Copies of this chain bind each other. A is one copy, B any other.
C-alpha cells in the first residue's frame, strides 16, 4: 500500500515553496491545523497567500496555540471573511502588516465557500448574489441574469490545504468531529495537495464507508497529532482556562449567558 503517513510535520510541509497559497481552517481556536502551521513557520517559506475563514490575532503565547496569524511575517496576501474579531481589536493588529505591503482580500464566508467549491469543480468563475451594493462589490464585474444582479467571483484553488481531522485511515479517508468540518472538505477538494493532521490515524477498514467525510483520493499526506502537539484536548482545556482570564475574550465565549 502506498504510504501517505508522515511522522514529522516538518517533512510533511518540506516542499512548500515561497509564494505558495495555503488554505487552512481557523474556527473557534483549535479547529485549526496548528501543527502544520507551526511547521510552516519553522520552515520559513515566504510570500505566502493564506486562505482562512477567520484570522484571529494571537492573544496568547505560541506555546499554547498556533493560528494562521503566526504566519503573518511570511505572508504576501490574506483571503478571509473575518480579519480579526472586532471585540479583540478588529483589524487593527493587521494594519502594521498592511502598511508593510500585506494584501488583504475580504470575502463573505458563503462566497468563500462557494469559491472553494468552484475551485474543486474546476469552474472558471461563478455569479454570486451576495455582496451587491456593499464594499465587497468594488472592482467586481456585475451581471444581470434573469432580472437579478450578481457579482462575478473567481474560484479559489489553493496549492495546499492544511486539514485538521478527527480520524484519518491510512488511505486518507477522513472523519471530523462537531463543527471542525467547516470549510475543510471544500479546501481539501480544491487544493492541489492536501496535508492532514489527525487526532488519530487508524487502520484501513476502521472507518465505515458511509461515515467518510473526505474520501482518501483528496488526501496526499497524513500526520498524527502527538500527545504534546497543538490541538490536543489537554491543550484545549488549558487554553479555555487562559482565555477566560482575558475579560474581552471571556465575554465573547460566555458573556451574555453568564449567570442566567
Binding site for B on A (CB under 8 A): 110, 113-114, 117-118, 121-129, 143, 145-146, 148, 150, 175-178, 209-211
Give the distance in Å from the alpha carbon of A107 to the alpha carbon of B40 in the complex. Answer: 43
B125 touches A145 (CB 8 A): yes
Q: Can you name the residue of chain B whose Cβ is closest to the Cβ of A128? A: B123
Q: 5 A-B residue contacts at CB 8 Å? A: A123-B129, A124-B143, A124-B146, A125-B150, A175-B210
Neighbouring B residues of A122 by C-beta, 8 Å: 129
Report whether A125 and B124 are in contact in the complex, using a CB–CB cutoff of 8 Å.
no
Shortest Cβ distance from A122 into B: residue? B129
B-side contacts of A114, CB under 8 Å:
121, 123
Distance in angstroms from A147 CB to nearest chain B CB is: 10
Residues of B within 8 A of A113 (CB): 121
A209 and chain B: residue at smallest CB distance: B178
A40–B209 CA distance with the chains assembled, in angstroms: 33
Q: Once bound together, how far apart are the Cα atoms of A178 and B210, in whole Å?
A: 7
Nearest-Cβ distance from residue A181 to partner chain B, whole angstroms: 9
* Residue among A114, A123, A143, A211 having the largest count of chain B Cβ atoms under 10 Å: A123
Which 6 A-B pairs give the minimum distances between C-beta atoms? A124-B127, A124-B150, A124-B145, A125-B127, A114-B121, A123-B126
Chain B contacts of A126 at CB under 8 A? 118, 123, 125-127
Query: By the criterion CB–CB under 8 Å, are A110 and B121 in contact?
Result: yes
CB distance from A168 to the nearest CB of B (A): 15
Known: A117-B117, A210-B175, A210-B176. A150 touches B129 (CB 8 A): no
- Note all chain B residues with C-beta closer than 8 A to A177: 210
Least CB distance from A137 to B in Å reads 14
Residue among A124, A125, A211 with the highest chain B CB neighbour number at 10 A: A124
Give the Cβ gap from A215 to chain B, nearest Cβ, in Å: 12
